[in-house]
């Protein structure tokens, strides 16, 4: 019954939320109790746990920091961080790591697919499937952990999606994602200009082949990109103070940032862009023309300007005027620079990056500090992503234990981060030493996978607030948009699948999808590449439920496991034992996998504080 209660807590939106704690994080959130010798090898001291002096708080802090700044960490990585790094030094070291790009991995994978196929000519691709293979292969092998985590955050702000015709061309998605990767430690201005010129963005927001005004036909430039570069990428809908609060008019209402007239004028700027080259298979001509569609053009080259289709006149928007008859690219650079330097952009972008990395409800002071770093990195440089990243991850609101006690602190882990974390907490067993994840199975269960947003507004809006306690307390929780009765149940079933099939790990038996974290699509189930947990490092301690719980608390809940949840797990694990199974002792596998299952569906794990 207690396990059922634990599951119901995860399912219920009103219950799965940040909690208000006023005690030491390692005390089980209870007062007036005495702890006697309850320690085990490799866990905490048997005494002084209630005031924290006997607990490894630095290890817990390292675990939480890596959960915010990476896609997840194994216990030895957490321990290594604790013993060797201070936060800023680790960030500086990450700035020096070699960049792992998507495009070469995707091309290698596509060639492998062709080489292994019985009929290469019938293979379709490279497509979104091969992008998924490359993304997972990259992010389960890479060293540039922070860069990739920031790139993923940017992919939810500067959105394109293969939930469109782009799914047919993996090179269009990988090339765009590589822009995000490259500029994650660069400057937001350069990133903004490059995504503006990228053909995938041009196709997705329809300024590829966007013609100038035609008075004869009564047509005007498409306004889609002009609207979204303001609303979603830079300045937002209302004027902001540097702390992210809205600027109010004389009646106490938020002041809009732009009008429909501003959109119409800005749309004129983004005219005349066409493909930068042709695909190799286009053999009937050598030069790209204005109007050549996304399928024909080289999707890795920036768009170029076709001046005859660029709006020639003056463009005036937001009080900024671009003179008539300039080169089209000059107009575009001028518009992007103006939006980048707009006072709204620093708090607007800072707030969204904080939400993606640390917490859903940053204080005004936190937003203000990060926005200040965006506006000036200390050397009069605006938009320095390295300064912004440091400001976000090193801020007292991200690092202090006191901030964690605030009920507004933290965020619901989004499905993708639950998945990546699951894939990084233990070594992985693979059938062919590769990590090709088709991605679609998890998307069907949780409605999220990288670069598969339903629209340009991402999977959720920054101000989404589910009905109930969160709304009643004037808080937001964007990720709850994806958490409902359907996805809650399917996530639980998915985790059960990850933790299942325990006897396959050590026994020489036929592999099966049951018990696999993910697999590729190679035509038939028997040929699929399976990837599963390798939890053998915990097997020597399978008899010791307390050890297992403490170990997973370090990996998954960062020392924040509540006493209530701990007791539910303790009771369940102690009941996982079969006295008759004296030979294979499969109960040991079940005990470890059951612990992983309970941790990953618990509120303590699902809320990252």
Location of structure tokens 């995860």: 10
Would you state the pLDDT for residue 533?
Answer: 85
Q: How confident is the model at residue 103 (pLDDT cuts 50, 70, 90)?
A: very high
Would you state the pLDDT for residue 1?
Answer: 39
The mean pLDDT of 302-318, rounded to a whole number, is 99
d(CA 305, CA 197): 10
Q: How many CA atoms lie within 13 A of 284 on its CB side?
A: 3
Among 140-149, 255-264, 576-585, the least confident range: 576-585
Q: Is 124 helix (H, G, I), strand (E, B) or coil?
A: coil
Residue 9 has pLDDT above 80, yes or no: no
> Which ranges of 243-395 would DSSP assign to H, the alpha helix?
260-269, 328-341, 345-357, 364-375, 385-394
d(CA 294, CA 199): 8
**Pairing mode of beta strands 304-305, 411-412:** unpaired
Residue 441 has pLDDT above 80, yes or no: yes
Would you state the pLDDT for residue 501?
Answer: 54
Would you state the pLDDT for residue 6?
Answer: 58
d(CA 558, CA 138): 25
How far is CA 438 from its chain centroid?
A: 17
Residue 416 has pLDDT above 70, yes or no: yes
d(CA 107, CA 69): 28
Tokens of 532: 């599963």
Closest CA to 211 of 289, 291, 266: 291
The mean pLDDT of 16-36, rounded to a whole number, is 39
d(CA 505, CA 502): 6
The mean pLDDT of 569-596, rounded to a whole number, is 82
Tokens of 203: 């196709």
Q: How confident is the model at residue 530 (pLDDT cuts 50, 70, 90)?
A: confident
Residue 494 has pLDDT above 60, yes or no: yes
How far is CA 547 from its chain centroid?
A: 31
Would you state the pLDDT for residue 283?
Answer: 96
The mean pLDDT of 96-114, rounded to a whole number, is 97
- Cis peptide leading into residue 126 (ω within 30°): yes
For the beta carbon of residue 225, count every other beta carbon within 10 angstroms.
25
d(CA 515, CA 536): 14
d(CA 155, CA 176): 9
Would you state the pLDDT for residue 402?
Answer: 79
217-263 pLDDT per residue, tens: 999 999 999 999 999 999 999 999 999 999 999 999 999 999 999 99
| Residues composing the chain | 609
170's enclosing H/E stretch is helix 170-183
Would you state the pLDDT for residue 55?
Answer: 57
534-564 pLDDT per residue, tens: 888 898 999 999 999 999 999 999 999 999 9
Would you state the pLDDT for residue 583?
Answer: 61
Residue 45 has pLDDT above 70, yes or no: no
Tokens of 256: 């809009």
533's enclosing H/E stretch is strand 530-533
CA-to-CA dists, residue 244 to 32, 235, 256, 273, 348, angstroms: 41, 11, 14, 34, 7
Largest distance between two CA atoms of the chain? 87
Would you state the pLDDT for residue 31?
Answer: 43
Location of structure tokens 């700035």: 95
Residue 25 has pLDDT above 90, yes or no: no
Q: Is the pTM of this model over 0.75?
A: yes
The whole-chain average pLDDT of the chain stands at 89
Tokens of 138: 């990259």
Number of helices and strands (H, E) in the chain?
26, 9
Q: How confident is the model at residue 85 (pLDDT cuts 50, 70, 90)?
A: very high
CA-to-CA dists, residue 298 to 163, 272, 295, 307, angstroms: 20, 17, 8, 20
pLDDT cut 90: percent of the chain above it: 78
Q: How confident is the model at residue 40 (pLDDT cuts 50, 70, 90)?
A: very low
Closest CA to 475 of 418, 417, 411, 415: 411
The mean pLDDT of 180-200, rounded to a whole number, is 99
How far is CA 282 from its chain centroid?
A: 36
Among 20-34, 231-245, 264-278, 292-306, the least confident range: 20-34
The single-letter DSSP state of residue 502 is: G
Among 179-193, 389-403, 502-516, 594-608, the least confident range: 502-516
The mean pLDDT of 449-470, rounded to a whole number, is 97
**Taking the domains of the chain in order of start, what are their residue ranges?**
2-30+40-85+413-602, 86-186, 198-233+258-343, 344-399
Provide the β-strand partners of residue 518: 531
């Amino acid at each position: 019954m207690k396990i059922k209660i634990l599951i119901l807590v995860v399912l219920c939106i009103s219950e799965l939320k940040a909690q208000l704690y006023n005690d030491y994080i390692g005390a089980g959130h209870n007062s007036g109790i005495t702890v006697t010798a309850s320690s085990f090898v490799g866990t905490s001291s048997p005494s002084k746990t209630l005031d924290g002096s006997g607990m490894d708080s630095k290890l817990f802090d390292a675990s939480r920091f890596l959960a915010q700044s990476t896609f997840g960490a194994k216990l030895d990585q957490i321990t290594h961080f604790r013993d060797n790094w201070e936060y800023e030094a680790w960030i500086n070291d990450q700035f020096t790591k070699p960049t792992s790009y998507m495009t070469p991995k995707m091309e290698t994978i596509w060639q492998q697919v062709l080489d292994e196929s019985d009929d290469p000519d019938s293979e379709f691709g490279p497509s979104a499937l091969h992008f998924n293979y490359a993304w997972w292969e990259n992010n389960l092998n890479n060293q540039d952990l922070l860069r990739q985590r920031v790139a993923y955050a940017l992919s939810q702000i500067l959105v394109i999606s293969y939930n469109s015709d782009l799914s047919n061309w993996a090179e269009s998605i990988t090339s765009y994602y590589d822009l995000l990767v490259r500029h994650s430690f660069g400057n937001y201005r350069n990133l903004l200009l490059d995504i503006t010129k990228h053909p995938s963005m041009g196709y997705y927001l329809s300024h590829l082949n966007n013609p100038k005004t035609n008075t004869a036909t009564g047509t005007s430039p498409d306004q889609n990109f002009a609207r979204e570069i303001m609303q979603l990428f830079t300045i937002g809908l209302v004027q902001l103070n540097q702390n992210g609060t809205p600027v109010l008019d004389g009646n106490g209402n938020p002041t809009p940032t732009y009008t429909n007239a501003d959109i119409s004028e800005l749309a004129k700027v983004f005219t005349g862009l066409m493909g930068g080259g042709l695909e190799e298979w286009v053999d009937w001509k050598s030069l790209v023309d204005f109007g050549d569609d996304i399928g024909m053009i080289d999707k890795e080259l920036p768009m170029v300007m076709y001046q005859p289709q660029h709006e020639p006149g003056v463009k005036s928007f937001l009080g900024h005027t671009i003179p008539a008859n300039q080169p089209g690219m000059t107009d575009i650079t001028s518009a992007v620079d103006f939006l980048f330097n707009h006072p709204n952009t620093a708090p607007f972008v800072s707030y969204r990056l904080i939400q993606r990395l640390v917490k859903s409800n940053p204080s005004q002071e936190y937003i203000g500090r990060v926005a200040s770093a965006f506006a000036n990195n200390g050397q009069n440089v605006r938009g320095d992503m390295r300064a912004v990243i440091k400001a976000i991850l090193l801020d007292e609101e991200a690092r202090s234990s006191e901030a964690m006690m605030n009920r507004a602190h933290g965020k619901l882990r989004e499905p993708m981060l639950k998945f990546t974390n699951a894939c990084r907490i233990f070594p992985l067993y693979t059938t062919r030493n590769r990590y090709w994840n088709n991605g679609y199975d998890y998307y069907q269960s949780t409605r999220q996978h990288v670069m598969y947003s339903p629209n340009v507004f991402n999977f959720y809006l920054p101000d989404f607030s589910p009905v109930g306690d969160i709304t009643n307390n004037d808080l937001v929780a964007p990720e709850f948009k994806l958490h409902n009765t359907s996805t809650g149940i399917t996530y639980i079933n998915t985790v059960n699948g990850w933790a299942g099939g325990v006897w396959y790990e050590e026994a020489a038996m036929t592999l099966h999808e049951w018990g696999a974290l993910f697999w590729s699509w190679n035509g038939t189930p028997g040929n699929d590449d399976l990837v599963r947990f390798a939890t053998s490092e915990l097997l020597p301690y399978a008899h010791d439920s307390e050890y297992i719980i403490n170990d997973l608390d370090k990996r998954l809940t960062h020392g924040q496991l509540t006493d209530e949840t701990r007791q539910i797990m303790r009771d369940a694990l102690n009941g996982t034992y079969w006295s008759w199974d004296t030979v294979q002792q499969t109960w040991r596998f079940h005990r470890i996998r059951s612990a992983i299952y309970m941790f990953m569906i618990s509120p303590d794990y699902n809320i990252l504080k």
